[in-house]
Structure 1
């Protein structure tokens, strides 16, 4: 078994995220995703077909950003984690969201780690 960590770092999207009236308009949200990916053998042909193509995560996050939005960052990161775990090679995923423009002196965020449930 070959284990790799595939990272999508600092993806910035505009989306509706929040519970306050001033958050009804889309705002900047920065997402980072770390996926522990298992392969039967290490990639040897230097070909994208051998590995997880992170384009699906980027496209999925953009689709979520274009949707109706989320009240909570916790709900957003759960949705991104589920997206990643839809690929059976992803064993563990860590997702972080950050709203950089909420306060003038701080960003606010949420981070979770989720793993594939063992087959019984």
Structure 2
């Protein structure tokens, strides 16, 4: 798989990532899914221009803090039930792009416990801001 860093608008960026962040969420359209939480794995890639993320004083405020990704996801989880993984991905990517330093974001979700004969089912979305 090609890296998004090869995209012409992202060649001057660094990529921050959060891998397989496991959350329990009430997600799904079927009645049995609405009765309890399911395990979902969330992955995030943030693309941040080097000019906005290269520390000169080795200080946290010079970069995008990893906590931003986890706290943003936690806020979405606290909003309650979501029917579709597509909606969840769209919500999370929109929130990630709201950060003023983030130029692009990739978000994927995977429900690992749906089928016994595969690792999981999921959705991925990638968006680039026009103005950063």
Both proteins in one fold, TM over 0.5? yes
Residues 1:7 and 2:20 aligned together: no
More strand by share: 1
Could you tell me the TM-score, scaled by structure 1's length?
0.91
Q: CA offsets per residue over residues 51-75 of structure 1, 9 Å max, x none?
A: 0012122012112222222111000
Residues 1:27 and 2:38 aligned together: yes
Q: CA offsets per residue over residues 84-106 of structure 1, 9 Å max, x none?
A: 10112111100000000111112
Q: Distance in 2 between the 1:2 and 1:55 partners? A: 23
Alpha carbons 1:81, 1:94 under 8 Å: kept:
yes
Q: Which runs of 4+ in 1 moved over 2 A?
A: 39-42
Structure 2 residue matching 1:45: 3-state secondary structure: coil
Structure 2 residue matching 1:40: 3-state secondary structure: helix
More contact order relative to length (CA 8 Å, sep ≥ 6):
1
Partner of 2:76: 64
Structure 2's unaligned 5+ residue stretches are 1-10
Structure 1's unaligned 5+ residue stretches are none
Q: Distance in 2 between the 1:111 and 1:105 partners? A: 21
Cα RMSD, aligned residues only = 1.7
Partner of 1:89: 101
